[in-house]
Structure 1
Amino acid sequence: MNHTTSTQAARLREQFIEHRARLRDVATRILGCPHRADDVVQDTFIKIAEVPDDFDIKQPVAYLYRIVRNLAIDRHRRSAFECDVFTEEEDGLDVHQEGDSPEAIAISRQYLSMIGRALEGLPARTRRAFELYRLSGLTQREIAAELNISTTLVNFMIRDALACCRNLLQNEPELAGS
């Protein structure tokens, strides 16, 4: 490790500290929540701590803003997905609480079972991309690297898996009547 590369890594961390408040503002504008923005900024610091010493960053400030933007967008998409898949038209109607009736619990389990069946019907690579994104919390870029495919393909695979789950849930007869 030479002195120049070590200096670049230190310079990136210094730039992060100097621009932290503005990075948080960027994340807040995307997410609409300062607490979630703080999480994104923290995730950004973790990402830059993992940057290899030999990684040549020509514009460290732009690099930091890009990381924050990408992480905030990923978090926003994940949140929107959760709202699409896991909530009904009337928010909170089927949210499990300690006082839920056995019937409500059974219906929730049937929904989960249906989603599991929908995912089983997907091609293995599509299902794996969806699981890595939704369950493991990996970014689309990380999934693309793991599966050795493009991020665009990952995006399409996640979209297809989500559409499959939605279609199955929308086309099933009402569970409560079964």
Structure 2
Amino acid sequence: MQQLGIVDNTAKPTSPLLQTLVDNRTTLVNVAARIIGCHSRAEDVVQDAFLRLSKLQEITLPLAAQVGYVFKIVRNLAIDHYRKQAMEQKYIGNEEEGFNVAVDGDTPESTNLNWEIIETIDAALSQLPDRTRYAFEMYRLHGVQQKDIARELGVSPTLVNFMIRDALIHCRKTIDDERT
């Protein structure tokens, strides 16, 4: 019948393990679905089990052992599938997350805007007293700790904190004034 392109669905599998899988297919799918959490993926797991069992050499086991063996194969494949799925979800984001990814190459407009902001900040910093500008640049640009800046300038760390805060407020105000 297969020569005519007609598949005979009533044919019995030749292996007792395959027959056990076919006989318990619905239960096996339900077992895999409980592990994976998806009925259609559980169907895929049972199909994978069928393919693996079809490649095995003839194994002679008692009937109870055949059922246990087939269930264990499906269970292990379902667990593997679940772990793979969990790992993929951990390292691969969903499609919507891709919309929020920053583009490597800036547009000419954004580059120009960034340079304008930097020039505005530079002009704002030049309006500050030298000591305040120095404290701000050392802290914000070079990452020097405030206590080290205070020691170098001969002032208290609290005063350095206020100088950095004042410089930041002045820069923000200058940028806001520039935009309006």
Q: What TM-score results when the alignment is normalised by the length of structure 1?
A: 0.45
Larger relative contact order (CA 8 Å, sep ≥ 6)? 1
TM-score (norm 2): 0.45
